Structure 1
Amino acid sequence: MTGTRLLVNRGWIANGKASTTTARFSEPGPRRIVGLAKLPGEKPSSWTPDNEPSKNQWYWIDVADMSKRAQTQALVVEEVDEGGRDTATERDMRDAGLPLPKEPTANLRNNHLEYAVTWFSLSAATLAMIAFRKKIVGGSVTGAAALRGSRGRLH
């Protein structure tokens, strides 16, 4: 996306270690980042504290408020670690107050149990309807055939 201002989540910074320099992003102009686009989300849970923008304390990503304050698009790009860092480098980054990007992960919802229960329930209901229909319809047909066979005609 050329010429578009976006919010970039560069990663986690240890409490009290935030660097006063913004090394990679201090100079104006375009930058290349590798990341995942995240749609606007809601507050994660009732246990998460409210953001305090006046103190620059953000506990969760409020895309609407952050993008309004920073005058950017209402989209967050979560910078991901491209690999190649070792533990020492990670420790150095943490001690220097630099952000630690997340490893790229796909958080897919796992609804397999719900789907299984739904389909087995539908199958059981269908079998019950078939059995009920065979009992009612099949029973009368069998009874009528038995009457026909014993008396010759149905009364």
Structure 2
Amino acid sequence: MSQRPSRPLPTGWLVLWTVLLAAALGGFVALGTWQVHRMHWKHALISRVDGLLRAPPVSAPGPDAWAGLRADRDEYRRVAVRGVLLDREILVQANTRLGAGFWVMTPLRRDDGSIVFVNRGFVDAAHRDPARRGAVRPTGPVRIEGLLRLSQPGGGFLRSNAPAEGRWYSRDVSAMAGSLSLPSVAPYFIDQSADAAADDDATQPVRWPVPGLTIVHFRDEHLSYALTWYALAAMTAAAMAYGARQEWRRRRAQGAT
């Protein structure tokens, strides 16, 4: 006994499924194309930052240049700053290759009176007290080189800064300046570079804080994401073609009876 072919879908259902599948196909293609654009943007960003990291340091922007700072042009630029480190600091929670601990954010006063926060490096919980760090903070004029980083307002993931309680999860320059009652503070901070004689593999630093632990790395997985979306688009197109063929056969069989 031959199997009786299934009945064709009602026209309304056929139109609905066609519209839904076409929308899914268009969405998958659009998402894949968006990831391709993001990939090109990320590659340009990586190339730009690599160029900045290899360039010689320039003088850190003064107050007249603060308003014109842009992330796509100035973030991770190598800069140098001269001034006096103030006897104040803010500890911001951090995770580095040395483990969990804090960034030591110290304000530096320049000759023009403006303030720039300097991330002098990392300390673990045992060395958060300056008296236990084994090194005396410089009291005279200093020259510091590092990477220009724009302010990080708001806090960390699902954690807001609580200045009144001394809990900091991001380097929010404006909030840190307000907490220390500092005027004329730059809208950026400087991640101090490692000492020339520092041992990059040392797990027990000879002094704290430890500078130069900033990791400049950008995730670049956009190609795999794009291929995933395009694969879903291809499967949707195949499903549409298969469904259309089956429906055509049903309607042809029905017309022959």
How big is the alpha-carbon RMSD for the aligned residues of Structure 1 and Structure 2?
4.0
- Structure number with larger C-alpha Rg: 1
> Is 1:33 the equivalent of 2:145?
yes
Q: Which moved more, 1:106-115 or 1:37-46?
A: 106-115
Does the C-alpha gap of structure 1 residues 73 and 134 become closer, same or farther in structure 2, counting only changes over 3 Å? farther
Question: Which residue of 31, 40, 44 corresponds with 2:156?
Answer: 44
**TM-score normalised according to structure 2 size:** 0.39
| Structure 1 residue aligned with 2:188 | 75
Larger strand fraction of residues: 2
Distance 1:34 1:117 in 2: 39
Answering whether residue 241 of structure 2 is matched by residue 130 of structure 1, we say yes
Which residue is equivalent to 1:152? none
Which residue is 1:102 aligned to?
212
Cα distance in structure 2, aligned partners of 1:3 and 1:79:
18
TM-score, scaled to structure 1: 0.57
Shift of 1:36: 4.3
**Gap regions ≥5 residues in structure 1:** 148-155
Identity of matched residues, %: 14
| Per-residue deviation, 1:47 | 6.3
Corresponding residue for 1:16?
Answer: 129
Shift of the 140–118 alpha-carbon distance from structure 1 to 2, 3 Å rule, reads: same
SS in 1 for 2:122: coil
Q: CA deviation at 1:46?
A: 4.7
**CA distance 1:104–1:129, shift in 2 (3 Å):** same
Counterpart AA for 2:163: N
The alpha carbon displacement at 1:100 in A equals 1.1
Higher relative contact order (CA 8 A, sep 6+): 1
Is the 1:38–1:78 contact (alpha carbons within 8 Å) kept by the matching residues of 2? no
Structure 2 letter corresponding to 1:125: T
